[in-house]
Structure 1
Amino acid sequence: MRVAPMTVTAPTRLSALDLLEAEAIHIIREVVAEFERPVLLFSGGKDSVVVLHLAAKAFAPGRVPFPVLHVDTGHNFPEVIAFRDETVARLGIRLEVASVQSYIDDGRLAERPDGTRNPLQTQPLLDAIAAGKHDAVFGGARRDEDKARAKERIISLRDEFGQWDPRNQRPELWSLYNGRHLPGQHVRAFPISNWTELDVWRYIEREGIALPPLYYAHEREVFRRDGMWWAIGEFSQPRTGEETERRVVRYRTVGDMSCTGAVESDAADTASVVAEVGRSTLTERGATRADDRISEAAMEDRKKDGYF
């Protein structure tokens, strides 16, 4: 009897995006398996949108098995809040909101002299984590954004006060993640920690992920400050000597309107943004976030206090 020769199929080569996606989905599933009450920080910004998309893929065809949490400064871009609400409604996910404005109204927080509210998010965040008894908090932070975030592990321990100690970092050899924590402590989990801004945009392009429209080029009334274009709005007004004009701009990152600047750009679709980001020599936070310019260690100081 003749035996047909065995056909050997060449192994499929995974792309860099495939490997990053697989790692992120593995992290998300590990956290859900190991922790009792995880939650995802979701602002409607591109990184949190990508993490939510990965979570949806991780548990398809079922629903995402945890809620999302937004720390609302009250100074957010209206387009982003609308996108946030549309997204959670479409996916059928519970949205938890911690309001900075309510803390200011009842005196638990005071407005900063510079008007930005991003640094005021820490206490509402920690209180929301405690109220929800969340033992793991997913975030969309990436190591390439800031030198403080580059120090952080994928599973990052927070003490009973919600604080981060950069000297107390656990090893993560062979993709083994240590989630052990004491009562009152929790961890932050960063599934896309190893991604770059360019990776994020290439993935958005590949997956056809929808984003708030301000990530793409559009005409807006702006004024120039600290090398950035600031949008005219209720919480962002020019000072004496700062003239307003209409420019075609887009946003590389989304935060408080009073600390997030735009960049001049004609990138009106995802492919154009990918090309533009590929040419950039500055991270998105370095280029457009005034709250990171408060000091050389601005991000690290906020993270030690319990910030994202």
Structure 2
Amino acid sequence: MTTLEKKATLDALDALESESIHIFREVAGEFDRPVILFSGGKDSTLLVHLAVKAFAPAPVPFPLLHVDTGHNFDEVIDFRDSIVERLGLRLEVAKVQDYIDDGRLVERADGTRNPLQTQPLLDAIVENRFDAVFGGGRRDEERARAKERIMSLRDAFGRWDPRKQRPELWNLYNGRHAPGEHVRVFPISNWTELDVWRYIQREEIELPSIYYAHRREVYKRDGMWLAEGPWGGPRSTETVENLSVRYRTVGDGSCTGAVESTATTLDEIIAEVTASRLTERGATRADDRLSEAAMEDRKREGYF
């Protein structure tokens, strides 16, 4: 990379960082009870890093919320807890397992719990009276997320209506909402996966080890490499292989696939992402393949 290219990259990252920090500060000034959705994945970790920068040297003025499917990778949960402890943040956890145990939700036949996150999320928002919910969604991830504004109004039932999206001209954001409604806020909406990795490299942001190449026993299903875990294992027709893989995105283990990779450094990951022709969700998330409008349908119900 030439000196000019490095300067252009830094300028672009500086602009994205500035926009995100501006959004955090706008929400802190306009809303009473914001919360950051935090799973320990790279995008939510980036949100926390930006929030720390936005309010330093003061502490981040709102808590974190994790909607826990119970089907997590151990490396990610360990990382989540270490970040919370290191930064002295408050973490609220809404557990899908609690809803299954008391009958409010029923385990799906396919074993995936991602679609089951919606009700615990909405209940946590109501119980804690959160009026602004920060999420790490980006427009380059998926078509439904490309429709979402940076400040996205949700009705009293947590539902999203793409026809009621408000204009956001000149970086002016409208957070007005009626009692019972809330706003989802996406500070890194304009970032790409490549921007995220370049910023992680520049800021030396720590991530779970699962994002870097490592050897793992996996089996192929619907074109994706899945790992065995508490969510179930390979079927009789599926063969387990020990491969060098890494994860581009992290979610419910039953529907989050790994990609074959030897990238153990940020330079190598950035080279891989630059060459990729598939978004991380398109390549590794089975829950987005349930239908053509799977993500949009879930967002209409109140999903992230």
Q: Give the TM-score range, shorter chain.
A: over 0.9
Give a deviation string over 1:133-183, Cα, whole Å, max 9, x none: 000000000000000000000000000000000000000000000000000
- Contact 1:41–1:137 (CA<8 Å) still a contact in 2? yes
Trace 1:177-196 onto structure 2 (pairs within 5 A).
177-196=173-192
| Aligned equivalent of 1:220 | 216
Q: State which of 147, 152, 168 in structure 2 corresponds to 1:151.
A: 147
Alpha-carbon distance in structure 1 between the residues aligned to 2:232 and 2:11: 42
Asked if the contact 1:230–1:236 (Cα under 8 Å) also holds between the matched residues in 2, the reply is no
Measure the CA separation in 2 of the matches of 1:211 and 1:64. Answer: 20
Number of aligned residues: 297
* SS of corresponding position for 1:214: helix
| One-letter code aligned to 1:265 | S
CA distance in 1, matches of 2:229, 2:173: 43
Task: Pick from 11, 20, 27 the counterpart of residue 15 of structure 1.
Answer: 11
Give a deviation string over 1:200-258, Cα, whole Å, max 9, x none.
00000000000000000000011111111111222230012101110000000000000
Residue from 73, 80, 85 that aligns with 1:89? 85
Which amino acid in structure 2 is aligned with residue 202 of structure 1?
R
CA distance in 1, matches of 2:262, 2:241: 17
Contact 1:236 1:257 in 2 (8 A): no
Deviations 1:47-84 (A, max 9, x none): 00001100000011111110000000000111111000
Q: Does 1:208 align with 2:168?
A: no
Q: Counterpart of 2:104? A: 108
Match of 2:46 among 45, 50, 61: 50
When normalised by structure 1's length, the TM-score is 0.95
In percent, how many aligned pairs have the same letter?
Answer: 73
Give the counterpart letter for 2:14 in structure 1. Answer: D
Unaligned runs of 5+ in 2: 1-6
Match in the other structure for 2:28: 32
For 1:296 and 1:236, the matched residues in 2 are separated by: 26
Give the aligned partner of residue 3 of structure 2.
none
Larger Rg: 1
Q: Distance in 1 between matches of 2:141 and 2:232?
A: 24
Counterpart of 2:125 in structure 1: which amino acid? I
Whole-Å separation in 2 of the counterparts to 1:264 and 1:222: 10
Verify the 8 A CA contact 1:262 1:288 in the aligned structure 2. Answer: yes
What is aligned with 2:70?
Answer: 74
Instruction: Specify whether residues 236 and 271 from structure 1 end up closer, same or farther in structure 2 by C-alpha distance, changes over 3 A only.
Output: farther
Aligned letter for 2:217?
E
8 Å CA contact 1:221, 1:246 repeated in 2: yes
Preserved CA contact (<8 Å) 1:40 1:66: yes
**Alignment root-mean-square deviation, CA:** 1.0
| Structure-1 separation of matches of 2:268 and 2:131 | 39
Provide the rounded CA distance (Å) in 2 between the counterparts of 1:61 and 1:227.
47
Tell me, yes or no, if structure 1 residue 277 matches structure 2 residue 273: yes
1:117 maps to a residue whose letter is R
Please tell me the residue identity of whatever aligns with 1:150: A
d(CA) in 2 for partners of 1:281 and 1:29? 35
SS at match of 1:126: helix
Per the alignment, in what secondary structure is the counterpart of residue 15 of structure 1?
Answer: helix
Code of the aligned partner of 2:256: T
